[in-house]
Amino acid sequence: MKTPEHPIFIESIKYIRSNLGITGLDLIQQSILERIIHSSGDFSLQSYIRFSPGVCENAIYALQNGTKILTDTYMAQAAISPMSERTTNSDIQCILGTAPKLIDSSVTTRSAIGMRNIWLELEEKENLLNAPCVVIGSSPTALISLLDLVEYGYATPSLVIGMPVGFIGVSESKSRLMNSKCPYIVLEGSKGGASLAAAAMNALLRAAEN
C-alpha cells in the first residue's frame, strides 16, 4: 500500500503546481521539480533543472531492482532515508564513511577520496551490474572523482543527481556531467544543496514505489 503524503505537503504541492503553469515536463520530471521547489521556496529553479533522456525511467528501474544510493553528505543521507524506508527500502551510504579523517586539503578533498574508495570497493565486490544512484548536493570534487572513474572505464552510475552548491568548480563539474555518458538530473549554475538533491531523489523513490 502506498504511504500517504502529509496533508500540508499535499497542499504545498497544489500551490506550487498552480503557480508553475505549463512546464513541458513529464509527470516524474514534474514531481522532481515540485519537490525541489518545495524544499527551497524558489520557483526560479524551473529555469535551471536539466534531465538527460530517459533518466527518470532508468533510475526508477534501478531502484526497483535493489540498487544502492550513494550520497556525498550525511545530511542528504538523513533526508533520503525516511522516504527509502517507506518505499523501496534502498541501501543508502554516505561516501564520507570510506574517506580518511585526515588528508592534505591542498591536494584533494575527503569527498573526492570517499567517492573513489567506495566506487572501487563496490565494483570489486559487486561488479556494479546495477550501479548505484549517486546524489551530489555539496561536493563538486566528489562529482569530478566519479566522472574520472567513469572515463577510466569503471561502471556508469544508474543516475547522478548533480546539484553541488557554490561557486568554485561547481558549474564546471555540472557541465562536465552533462557532457558525460552518465544519466543525470542537474541544477545548472551555482544553485543546489543537500536538501534539493535529496528532494529529487525522494521524488524518484516515491515514483519507484508506484
> What domains lie within the chain, and their CATH numbers?
49-209 (3.40.50.10230)
Number of H helices, E strands in the chain: 8, 6
User: Given the C-alpha cell 572515463, which residue does it identify?
Assistant: 151
pLDDT tens-place string over residues 94-148:
999 998 888 887 789 999 999 999 999 999 988 788 999 999 999 999 999 999 9
Q: pLDDT per residue over 180-206, tens digit each?
A: 999 999 999 999 999 999 999 999 999
Structure pTM? 0.95
How far apart, in whole angstroms, are the C-alpha atoms of residue 102 and residue 147?
24
Catalytic residues: 38
Check residue 162 and report its DSSP letter. E
